[in-house]
Structure 1
Amino acid sequence: MDSTPPFSTTRIEGQFEPDQGPGKHRIGLIVLSNDYVTERDFVNLRPSDDVTIFASRIRNTQSCSIETLPQMAPHISDAAALLVPEGRLDVVAYACTSGTIAMGYDTVCERIHAVRPGAKVVTPITASLAALDGLGAHKLAVLTPYTDDVNQIIAHHLTAHHKEICAFTSFHIDDNEVMAALPPDAIYQAALEADRLEAEALFISCTAIRAVDVVEQIENAIGKPVVTANQAMIWQALRLAGCAAPIAGYGRLLHHATPW
């Protein structure tokens, strides 16, 4: 005979009204499977606990090339669908600069809106162009980690959007693991070499590198605005989510409390 006493619990009888859950401003983030940096940057640069980041991963190859980048397109909807499926999102950010260009911004939007029709879409390149426009920067010095097949599509995209490239400097890396392992000090030194007197701003492409760590130091050294992929993506995502709080220590772009 089973002598185990019957299981029972005490039911809470008091009434409660559900709130909206965590995060007044909610940002969904699609991060490449081998990206070590972007999710960290988004969390570190949140201006307050009112901003909540929900991240999902998308399959990506180790090599970064114009052949491999478009291979992510079929997986974007699946990654977006994993972002708190029943919850509200203000913005979905797709965290690949070169991938957005290789696939096309419209393709990225279409794949995200297939499962998140109400969310605003942010990408690193569209955010960077908006940031550069807001800063009044037309003539650019450009720094990337990419090999020249990818550099070429970056340059073409910038010039197609009415930017003049004064100089284009690159680490010539095609391995995403190596990109993530670039020390911030190496990025800082490369940025000083990449700058040109006639450039109105320095643009540092790629979400996989730790450029955000040294953006303020670079600006102080060269005396002009610096826009990085993650910094710009965070800036635009926050503003589209309704949060325009200034963030100190990460370049003059984030010092602005209001959107342009």
Structure 2
Amino acid sequence: MTDSLGPRLKVGVVVPSTNTSAQPEMEALRPHQVTNHTGRMVIGDDSMVDEPGFDHVMRSIRRSTHPAIKSVVSCRPDCVIVAVSPESYWEGPDSHARVLASMREAADGLPVTMSPDAINAALTAYGARRIAVVTPYLPVGDDSVSRFFKDSGYDIVRIRGLGMPSPAKISHVSETQLRDVVEEIDGPDVEAIVQVGTNVAMARLAAVAETWLGKPVISNNTVLYWHALRRNGIQDRVHGHGSLLSEH
């Protein structure tokens, strides 16, 4: 017998406990007969204004990810999304296979989607290499984000951080702020705009922004969910949430 509400796919999603954006945004993206099941990485709402504080938050996420995965695997999902920004586990391309393998082990061998794979897959689908990046961070966090994209072979034309001082405060970023920063970093030299930070509620604004910019605008939560669906056999074209889900 299959699950009565999610016979096509059950998606386990693990998020930091401070995150209030990823769960509702991913719920809005669900195709028919696909269900989401959320576990939480328990972390504190600690300061990220300097390098020691930012590193402390990243270490807290790393320590709590495996227990969160294990907490959601008991409902027997078909796959797991690790809904954190790419820099949370990024120590260079050579380390990613090792990190992903450890996540799969914690998930009892289930397929695992992480931001590096999802973002790379989306930018490959669009054929985009020259990008502008939006982050929720202060400069110390932006440095980690820049390293991720440069190590992955992308040309960062511009990067802007929104200066949020702690993990929970990231959810306070408004659509007006996001609209303004997207307009600021765009230009004819940019092939795609990428937003990182899964506690930034940008899925709706990203979809709308594509209509006036005429280019891909990729939000972290949307790209994670798109990648999980496609990797696990759900090819539905989901409309109203941007070109990634409707065209790829």
Calculate the TM-score normalised by the size of structure 1: 0.85
Aligned to 1:154: 145
Alpha-carbon distance, 1:33 to partner: 0.3
Aligned to 2:51: none
Structure 1 residues 25 and 86, CA, compared in 2 at 3 Å: closer, same or farther? closer
Post-superposition Cα deviations, 1:102-146, rounded to whole Å, max 9, x if no partner, equal 696445434432332331111123211210111100000111111
**Structure 1, unaligned stretches of length 5 or more?**
1-17
For residues 119 and 100 of structure 1, what CA distance do their matches in structure 2 show? 19
- 2:168 paired residue among 142, 166, 177: 177
Cα pair 1:125 1:229 within 8 Å, conserved = no
Aligned to 2:78: 90
RMSD: 1.9
**Secondary structure of the residue that 1:82 maps to in structure 2?**
helix
Residues 174-183 or 108-117, more deviating: 108-117
- 2:238 paired residue among 234, 237, 247: 247
Aligned to 1:129: 120
For residues 27 and 75 of structure 2, what CA distance do their matches in structure 1 show? 22
Alignment of 1:45 onto 2:33:
no
Alignment of 1:57 onto 2:40:
yes
Post-superposition Cα deviations, 1:3-34, rounded to whole Å, max 9, x if no partner, equal xxxxxxxxxxxxxxx44443121110001101
For residues 193 and 79 of structure 1, what CA distance do their matches in structure 2 show? 37
Post-superposition Cα deviations, 1:138-193, rounded to whole Å, max 9, x if no partner, equal 00011111111211111111111110011111212231222101111221121111
Aligned to 2:11: 27
Larger radius of gyration: 1
- 1:74 paired residue among 63, 78, 102: 63
More helix by share: 2
For residues 116 and 84 of structure 1, what CA distance do their matches in structure 2 show? 6
Aligned to 1:99: 88
Residues 118-127 or 66-75, more deviating: 66-75
For residues 215 and 251 of structure 1, what CA distance do their matches in structure 2 show? 7
Calculate the TM-score normalised by the size of structure 2: 0.89
Q: How many residue pairs end up in the alignment?
A: 238
Alpha-carbon distance, 1:247 to partner: 1.2
**Secondary structure of the residue that 2:119 maps to in structure 1?**
helix
After TM superposition, the structure 1 = structure 2 runs for residues 115-126 of structure 1, keeping only pairs within 5 Å, are 115-126=106-117
Aligned to 2:192: 201
For residues 117 and 177 of structure 1, what CA distance do their matches in structure 2 show? 30
**Structure 2, unaligned stretches of length 5 or more?**
49-53
